[in-house]
């Protein structure tokens, strides 16, 4: 276990995921199938399949639920359902700044880009929780089932 410093630890220590990327020409059906097959929670939408340029949008499980609730056709363009121009983090940002950005924006996933804007990874709330558990295992693993409730100890 290392010393915790939210202001200096880089986001690369918060268990970033490899990004799933699709072309802006993809359909929602294709994107959801990719998410299912790769067990992904979000997909970055880029100008090309290789996603070597600017991120045009992000499609998350929240967007998928919205799409399903509306009963839209799977052949519809991802462009119509993605969140355009998503907020991004930079590879040099700290874990604390990632937490702050995610909390302020209500995000569960944020793309991480390099200096040229090329996607490198995706930070998720799960990765941040994993990072915190690494630093506070005794606190996390010994929480009672119902915090605040006292329990009588039985036995000797």
Task: Tell me the mean pLDDT per 10 residues along the chain, length 156.
Answer: 76 93 93 95 84 86 93 93 94 94 95 88 94 81 71 64
pLDDT for the residue numbered 50: 66
pLDDT for the residue numbered 2: 56
pLDDT for the residue numbered 145: 72
* C-alpha to C-alpha distance for 75 and 60, rounded to whole angstroms: 17
**Contact predicate 74/32, CB 8 Å:** yes
- Choose among 131, 115, 114, 119: nearest CA to 86: 119
**Contact predicate 94/8, CB 8 Å:** yes
Domain architecture of the chain: domains with CATH: 11-141 (3.10.580.10)
Is residue 59 classed as helix, strand or coil in its secondary structure?
Answer: strand
Is residue 132 classed as helix, strand or coil in its secondary structure?
Answer: helix
pLDDT for the residue numbered 156: 55
CA 17 distance to own-chain centroid: 8
pLDDT for the residue numbered 20: 93
pLDDT for the residue numbered 134: 87
pLDDT for the residue numbered 49: 62
pLDDT for the residue numbered 108: 95
CB neighbours (10 Å) of residue 117? Answer: 13
pLDDT for the residue numbered 155: 61
pLDDT for the residue numbered 1: 46
* C-alpha to C-alpha distance for 27 and 90, rounded to whole angstroms: 28
Residue at token pair 């993605």: 82
């Amino acid at each position: 276990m290392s010393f915790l410093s939210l202001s200096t630890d880089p986001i690369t220590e918060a268990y970033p995921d490899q990004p799933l990327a699709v072309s802006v020409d993809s359909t929602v059906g294709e994107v959801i199938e990719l998410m299912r097959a790769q067990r992904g929670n979000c997909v970055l939408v880029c100008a090309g399949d290789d996603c070597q340029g600017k991120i045009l949008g992000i499609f998350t499980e929240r967007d998928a639920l919205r799409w399903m609730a509306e009963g839209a056709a799977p052949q519809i363009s991802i462009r119509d359902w993605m969140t355009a121009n998503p907020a991004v983090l930079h590879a040099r940002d700290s874990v604390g700044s990632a937490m702050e950005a995610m909390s302020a924006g209500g995000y569960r996933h944020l793309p991480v880009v390099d200096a040229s804007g090329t996607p490198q990874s995706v930070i998720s709330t799960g990765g941040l929780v994993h990072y915190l558990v690494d630093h506070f295992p005794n606190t996390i693993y010994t929480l009672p089932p119902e915090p605040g409730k006292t329990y009588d100890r039985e036995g000797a």
